[in-house]
Structure 1
Amino acid sequence: MSSLPWMQHLIVVPVLLPLVVGALLIPVNQRHHALKSTLGVASTVLQLAVALALLLATDRESWPGGIGVYFAANWAAPFGIALMVDRLAALMLALTSTIALAVLVFSARRWDRVGVSFHSLFQFLLMGLNGAFLTNDLFNLFVFFEVMLAASYGLVLHGYNVRRIRAGMQYIAVNLAASLLFLIGVSLIYAATGTLNVADLAARVDGLGAQDAWLLRVGAAVLALAFLTKGAMWPLGFWLPTTYASASAPVGAMLVLMTKVGVYAVLRVWSTVFGDGAGALDGFGLAALTFGGMATLLFGAIGMLASQDGGRMAGYAAIISSGTLLAVIGHSGGAVLASGLYYLLGSTLAMAAFMLLLELTERIRPPGASLVAITMEAFAIEDKPEDPVGVDIPGTLAFLGLSFTACALVIAGMPPLSGFVAKFGIFHTMLAAAHDGVPGTTWLLIGLMILGGLAAIISLMRLGVRTFWAAGVVTPPRLRLSEAVPVGTLVLLCVLLTVQAGALFDFLERTTDGLLRSGDYSARVLGEPPVQRAPIPGGPR
């Protein structure tokens, strides 16, 4: 049988590699902790290398249109399982692997020792995330969502205590309900169109009859509820602040990514299925997405101002981020999408760094000032992380203070870092696109984004003052290099996004252009031939 080019096989590696490594780590005893940690980190490094290779391949258009297609079991679309990678999917893979690697290094010798299954669950979580970014089929998207969620259930309860168990039960119940909605939505869409392949669905939408088009609208609306529950749109994201505040720091950083999966799914499905080629269904649901995103922005801003706990502030900041992205996708479509993707990158990196940083800054406070979430709070735990026994890193307080400030500036969208560049780009593009006067919804969205930034900077300044200046005489905390380096790296990446904003915007504009050409996307996936079987010499023809 003829073979595929080696580059094309890389498309399936981000799914298979964490699956195999996670399965291999299950029977490994916790006494071999160093081996488990090494394999987990090695797997994540390889995933990052593959993601970067795919990013280069799609941007250089090594495949036609910069879209790579891989057929599982060599069944052509729309009948078989099709994986697809374009610039956006490759970018999300690289972002996931980068944050995951930082989280694993941060967890070394501490959080990953709480429970024997941390590394297995973490790899299965990566498998679900990567699969969700690569799949071209709604049912397989459901499967990857469930793999991701099943692993996250165990990780949210990781290092369990009463508070974490309560938040975890709420998190599990909400996501099980969202999964039921997902299945109902998928069933209705299949009943209306006869397909679940996203590319095939986009090709069929314009030819649907009135009754089938109505059924598709209902199915898409139910499916959107499932996506937006995971993307934390108001009022569906009520679970998020409590979960963020209760989860361990490494798990909280991964939850930041999981929130963005819901936003990605909305962007991918709606830009493909309900794009320019959808006829009467062109732009279906975007107005609801706009107003839902703006309501989410307002809810997140109020929640941040009302929060005193750093974890809850982080949860509401993630809600503000999701609200901003959803409102931008719904309001402006492709015109402002490049700036929105730039905002997604910067806010996700900053939020992940902030979640890790919260644990380190807790060590600044005097022992009697508060209960440290991962030690004193867990007094009833039989298996808990050991107390910090790091080293005195020169300038520890300066490092923590500067990292906190950088994260706060990016999250709030204040100059000079990437958050400000992203918001300025969004404002500029929205106003420039309004040729016949600026609509009221545009001014309302701009006002809410400014309000969200003000709420974030006020809340984070209050937290920073209380942590670094109002705690009395403090002793610089002892940190491990394995804790400081991941946080510093994520912060430096936020700075690098700012320095390389021009080149990155060029790439994101190419990404947006490819994403919005849904006809080319459908033609590429549906037109990819399966690998042809070569005739066997001397055998039957």
Structure 2
Amino acid sequence: MSALPWMQHLIVVPVLLPLLVGALLIPVAQNRHGFKFAASAVSGVLLWLLSLALLGMADGGHWPDGIGVYLASNWAAPFGIALMVDRLSALMLVLTSTIALAALVFGARRWDRVGVHFHSLFQFLLMGLNGAFLTNDLFNLFVFFEVMLAASYGLVLHGYNLRRIQAGMQYVAVNLVASLLFLIGVSLIYGATGTLNIADLTLRVAALGPQDTYLLRIGASVLALAFLTKGAMWPLGFWLPTTYAAASPPVAAMLVLMTKVGVYALLRVWLAVFGDAAGELEGFGLAALSVGGMATLLFGAVGMLASQDGGRMAGYGAIISSGTLLAVLGHSGSAVLASGLYYLIGSTLAMAAFMLLIELTERIRPPGAALLAITMEAFAIEDKPEDPVGVGIPGTLAFLGLSFVACALVISGMPPLSGFVAKFSLFHALLAMPGRVPPATWLLIALMLLAGLAAIIALMRLGVRTFWASGAVTPPRLQISEVLPVGGLVALCVALTLQAGAVFDYLSRTVDGLARSGSYTERVLGEPPVMRPAGGEVAR
């Protein structure tokens, strides 16, 4: 057999590159901020280019069925560690590297200097995220989850103050419990099936006896609790708004992405293990997922209306986003998955931009403006400003205002940006399903509309207080390193709207690939190791 093509090794680079860069930056002196940022930025750019290359390879026919497999240590699956990239995992890698690069640039002049080892922790966080998207094994998914969480603990507490310590301790405690549930669920699944390779699980589930099936149900339910804690499903997501509001803006933007890791893991495992080939376990737990997602939608909508702080609003907005994805996945499975993935991309980009934008808009408001605005609203005090005829809007205020509006439109699902396209597509997919539309579908649509209404009311209120009710507004000083990330993420939301047709075509191919579980299993389990010649050296 011929040697492994060098391009095949690209699959493992998103894990190895941030690991090496993070480790090399640890002994570097803390005052060498420029060098540390330059190393992290080079790593970020390389990861972004690499993720685009992997996406092109997965969608360009480079691999059979659009699935590339990398056997670590040259051990065949299911005995060895198999990394796998397909259209979905490549898409998540692109989303991760894009938001990470924006967060890294945003924190270059301030936030990476308020604590120690920011860039090393950031690189280890990327290693965990990329590994979680690429792994095909539940135990290694647990390992990458722990790497991701361990790095996030340090980042959430980075530049610590009392508020950040309190929120960080709660975040650490909740995620330690989730990690314990993850490990228990994985142990039960292994006890029932004898394997943790996801592709191998798809073959063994249908052949299990009654006792092993019962044990698998328990293990999968415990595992789902761990995923849903990270995905912020109600009531497991109580920790999220406080953590979002307390974290520094670059870290909060990454937390938005980390919330989607739980949704991705649930999607990856459930569609493969409990799909068409699962026999009596087909669709296991999806009904509960639908109910939990709808409850999460309602919880997020109420939380947004009750919040006065921009960070907490963003946290509840992320909860609404997760609730929408979980509800539509549980309600209709792969039938609406393309629309759900489009919603995931747009909402994640907009929410990350909003987390960065909040810190910039807070510079507009003088000290005590928030308390004054709330008091004026409570006592219905009318304070009509003078007509600003002939007064030019400063460039910074125009940028902040337009960016705020764009993020608010995407988050709430109002036209004309990608949030509206995503929700309209979801409604169309739900109502176009064969047969009579059940009451649960109408309830889900009503909750999505209610959540969008709550979001636009809350964000409009925040915008009025920030840009209008603060009294005399002094244009804030913005660094180019702060403007570029926010503007870039907003521009991507606009591009996602303009190129909706091409994006939906790609997502349709992604969903078709996920539906062919047989091809997925064959590619992972059938990937042969590189043979060794008689001399003992790997053939080249």
Aligned partner of 2:495 in structure 1 is: 496
What CA distance in whole angstroms lies between the structure 1 residues aligned with 2:173 and 2:424?
39
Residues 423-456 of structure 1, C-alpha deviations (whole Å, 9 max, x = no match): 00000011001x3210011000000000000000
The correspondence of residues 140-539 of structure 1 with structure 2, limited to 5 A, is 140-369=140-369, 395-433=395-433, 435-536=434-535
Instruction: Give distance in 2, aligned partners of 1:35 and 1:4.
Output: 35
Q: Give the distance between the partners of 1:187 and 1:364, measured in 2 at CA.
A: 52
Partner AA of 2:226 in structure 1: A
Q: Equivalents in 2 of 1:48, 1:451: separation in Å?
A: 36
Cα deviation, residue 3, structure 1: 2.5
The aligned counterpart of 1:127 is 127
Identity of aligned residues (%): 79
**Deviation, structure 1 residue 368:** 4.1
Counterpart Cα distance in 2 of 1:148 and 1:189: 23
Cα offsets for 1:74-106 (capped at 9, x unmatched): 000000011000000000000000000000000
Asked if structure 2 preserves the Cα contact closer than 8 Å seen for 1:2 and 1:533, the reply is no
Name the CA distance, whole Å, in 1 between partners of 2:261 and 2:225.
14
Offset of residue 167 of structure 1? 0.4
**SS where residue 427 of structure 1 aligns?**
helix
Asked if the contact 1:203–1:519 (Cα under 8 Å) also holds between the matched residues in 2, the reply is: no
- Over 3 Å counting, the alpha-carbon distance change for 1:485 and 1:538 in structure 2 is closer
Q: CA RMSD in A?
A: 1.4
AA matched with 1:222: V
Q: What residue in structure 2 maps to residue 377 of structure 1?
A: none
Tell me, which stretches of 5 or more residues in structure 1 are unaligned? Answer: 372-392
What does 1:22-41 correspond to in 2, within 5 Å?
22-41=22-41
CA distance in 1 between counterparts of 2:478 and 2:251 reads 19
Q: String of CA shifts for 1:185-241, please: whole Å, max 9, x gaps.
A: 000000000000000011111111111011100000000000000000000000000
- Whole-angstrom distance in 2 between the partners of 1:32 and 1:162: 27
Q: Give the match for residue 376 of structure 1.
A: none
Distance 1:122 1:75 in 2: 30
Give the distance between the partners of 2:536 and 2:354, measured in 1 at CA: 62
Give distance in 2, aligned partners of 1:17 and 1:537.
Answer: 29
Aligned counterparts of 2:202 and 2:185: Cα–Cα separation in 1: 16
| Aligned residue number for residue 72 of structure 1 | 72
Give the superposition deviation at 1:2.
4.8
SS at 1:84 equivalent: strand
Deviation at 1:534, TM superposition (A): 2.6
* 1-structure distance, mates of 2:48, 2:361: 29
Aligned to 2:18, what secondary structure does the other structure show?
A: helix
Please report how far the alpha carbon of residue 306 of structure 1 lies from its aligned counterpart in structure 2 after TM superposition. 0.4
CA distance in 2, matches of 1:349, 1:169: 27
Indicate if the aligned counterparts of 1:30 and 1:116 stay in contact, CA closer than 8 A: yes
Q: Distance in 2 between matches of 1:142 and 1:3?
A: 31
Spell out, residue by residue over 1:10-33, the C-alpha distance to the aligned partner (whole angstroms, 9 max, x if none). Answer: 000000000000000000001211
Task: Check conservation: 2:116, 2:158, Cα contact below 8 A.
Answer: no
Contact 1:181 1:223 in 2 (8 A): yes
Separation (CA, whole Å) in 1 of partners of 2:190 and 2:264: 21
Q: Distance in 2 between matches of 1:3 and 1:99?
A: 35
Residues 166 and 513 from structure 1, CA distance in 2 versus in 1: closer, same or farther, beyond 3 angstroms?
A: same
| Secondary structure in 2 matching 1:69 | strand
Inter-CA distance 76–460: structure 2 relative to 1 (3 Å threshold):
same
Deviation of the 1:334 alpha carbon: 1.0
Alpha-carbon distance change, 16 to 538 in structure 1, aligned in 2, over 3 angstroms: closer
Instruction: Report the number of matched residues.
Output: 517
- Whole-angstrom CA distance in 1 between matches of 2:417 and 2:506: 19
Checking the alignment, whether the CA contact within 8 Å between 2:85 and 2:134 is kept in structure 1 is: yes
Local SS of the residue matching 2:31? helix
- Report Cα offsets for 1:44-91 as digits up to 9, x if no partner: 110111100000000012111000000110000000011000000000
SS in 1 for 2:437: coil
Give the drift of 1:341: 0.1
Contact kept? 1:2, 1:534, Cα under 8 Å: no
* Counterpart residue type for residue 459 of structure 1: A
SS of the residue corresponding to residue 489 of structure 2 reads helix
Partner of 1:43: 43
Q: Deviations over 1:285-324 (max 9, x none)?
A: 0000000000000000000000000000000000000000
Query: What secondary structure sits across from 1:70 in the alignment?
Result: strand
Supply the AA of the counterpart residue of 1:103.
A
Contact 2:370 2:465 (C-alpha < 8 Å) held by counterparts: no
Question: 4+ residue runs of structure 1 moved beyond 2 angstroms?
Answer: 367-371, 534-539
Partner deviation per Cα, 1:134-163 (whole Å, 9 max, x = no partner): 000000000000000000000000110001
C-alpha displacement of 1:538: 12
Q: Which AA in structure 1 matches 2:444?
A: L
SS of 2:369's partner is coil
Letter in 2 for 1:468: F
SS of alignment partner, residue 69 of structure 2? strand
Tell me, what secondary structure is at the counterpart of 1:421?
helix
Following TM superposition, by how much is the alpha carbon of 1:4 offset from its aligned partner in structure 2, in angstroms? 1.1
* Distance in structure 2 (CA, Å) of the matches to 1:6 and 1:66: 18
**Residue aligned with 2:195, SS:** coil
Q: Distance in 1 between matches of 2:354 and 2:428?
A: 28
